[in-house]
């Protein structure tokens, strides 16, 4: 009796597994389109900005100027407006710069800005902090999902 009960239970388990496998469906792929935010990639030449002080002409009433600049290459597949933000510091003074530049995909552009300064500032020990803000684009991308 014990042998037939064991055989019966094994048959039930085997049939249950077969039924369970046949009921499971193979996942079917389908495509949906979703918005994705992508930040454009870029390179900065020499990975730094340049700054310079140009002399003024005090007798003519022309103040000296400070100029910041950097060369940016848009390495992404999309065009956009890149922003240079920089702060120059010297002798307890600081000067903020913010300049936007449209750069086409694959193109290189010089981003620069110049500001007048007091004739007695930014003469020594100038330091700079800076960054480039790359634009973001909303792209519609296909995503494969499964049912």
State residue 119's pLDDT score: 83
State residue 54's pLDDT score: 87
How far from 90 is each of 12, 28, 35, 58, CA to CA, in Å? Answer: 86, 65, 45, 21
Q: pTM for this structure?
A: 0.72
State residue 77's pLDDT score: 94
Helix (H) or strand (E) holding 140: strand 136-146
b/e for 5-14, b at 16 or more Cβ within 10 A?
Answer: eeeeeeeeee
State residue 100's pLDDT score: 97
Positions of the chain with pLDDT lower than 70, given as ranges: 1-3, 18-25, 58-59
Bridge partners of 101? Answer: 82
State residue 20's pLDDT score: 62
């Amino acid at each position: 009796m014990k042998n037939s009960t064991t055989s019966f239970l094994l048959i039930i388990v085997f049939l249950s597994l077969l039924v369970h496998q046949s009921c499971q469906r193979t996942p079917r792929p389908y495509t949906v389109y979703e918005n994705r935010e992508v930040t454009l990639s870029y390179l900065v030449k020499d990975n730094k900005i340049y700054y310079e002080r140009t002399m003024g002409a005090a007798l003519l009433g022309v103040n000296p100027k400070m100029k910041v600049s950097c060369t940016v290459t848009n390495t992404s597949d999309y065009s956009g407006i890149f922003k240079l933000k920089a702060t120059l510091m010297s002798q307890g003074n600081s000067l903020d710069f913010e300049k936007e530049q449209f750069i086409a995909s694959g193109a290189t552009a010089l981003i620069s800005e110049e500001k007048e300064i007091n004739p007695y500032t930014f003469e020594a020990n100038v330091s700079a902090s800076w960054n480039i803000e790359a634009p973001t684009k909303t792209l519609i991308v296909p995503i494969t999902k499964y049912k």
